[in-house]
Amino acid sequence: MIINNSNLNSINDSADFWYYQIGVNVISADTKNKKTYENWLPWQDKPISEKEHELPKKNGEYNKGIAIITGPIWRGPYKGKYLVAIDLDNKKAIEEFCRDGLEELKQKTLVEQTSNPEKMHIYFIVEREIPNKASDKCNTEILKKINANKIPVLEVKSNGKGIMFCANSPHQKDGNYRIIGTLKPEVFPASMIEERITLVCKKYNIPYGFCNNGNNINYNFNIGPSIEELFTPGTKILEGHNRHLGILRVMDSLLVKNMKFLTLDEIKGHAQQRNLDLCVPPFDDRDMQRQWKQGFELC
């Protein structure tokens, strides 16, 4: 199925583009409220069949938006490669990552934006996975620098553990996500993308890359603050920087450590208090209930 700029006009067109042309898994979502309608974890490491993709289209399940699972590409012209997503979440991140090459990038790879010019998604197709960068740990001083646009805010998703809300889905307040350049991305060397991210992070002393354990080198997936830091006063996770993962890890820790000593309602109360202290802004009661259900199922 070939899709081009002239017919990528509906949410179903977009779902087909990501599924058939790029080759990643697509799931239904309520993108205005930043949530998915299904548990996408089973699709981290296996492909969604064509039948399972087409049925939600017919049922209108993509109407409120879609999410794609980054990482392995399962079908189409890029099969066997990886889709890396770079979420540039402020003006400084766009300036530092793109430098003066944004127009060139728009002609060579997928660039996605809403009506907000200070935020952007850039996708790269590469031959292998690269290190992720997910949640940011923020204290008051870092938050001041972010708000003053003095340090870049970016997120990297390179494996099946991440999702992106994407075109043509609605954003919470900035219109719809749109691809603003080519729909036929080139394949880039993974080392080139990794180096570009590393240069930005090194400049601002942001942790990123591999971690060495003796003679073994493992990916540092940068899932954010450690468990200890998640429970330390002053640690903050901003909206758009995987608060969901942070609060899930909090719930998991509380459940594992306290199941024999506290009631579930008491544990849930501790999780809610940590939500209020950790997340900026905190999750509302409905979202916390969804998170609690998922955390309890995974425990």
∠ CA(182), CA(168), CA(57), 5° rounding? Answer: 115
Q: Which residues contact 212 (CB under 8 A, 6 or more apart)?
A: none
Question: C-alpha 113: how far from its chain's center?
Answer: 15
Strand partners, 133: 156
88: nearest Cα among 79, 99, 78: 99
Question: What is the per-residue pLDDT for 138?
Answer: 65
- Residue 135: DSSP 8-state: P
Q: What's the confidence (pLDDT) of residue 137?
A: 58
Answer yes or no: are the C-beta atoms of 75 and 18 closer than 8 Å.
no
Q: What's the distance, CA 10 to chain centroid?
A: 22
pTM of the entire predicted model: 0.76
- Intra-chain end-to-end CA distance of the chain, in Å: 41
Please, which residues have CB within 8 angstroms of residue 298's CB and are 6 or more apart in sequence?
248, 252
R_g (Cα) of the chain, nearest Å? 19
Predicted pLDDT at 229: 82
CA atoms within 13 A on the CB side of 105: 21
- Which residues, given as ranges, of the chain have pLDDT below 70? 1-7, 134-140, 210-224, 240, 297-299
Predicted pLDDT at 197: 94
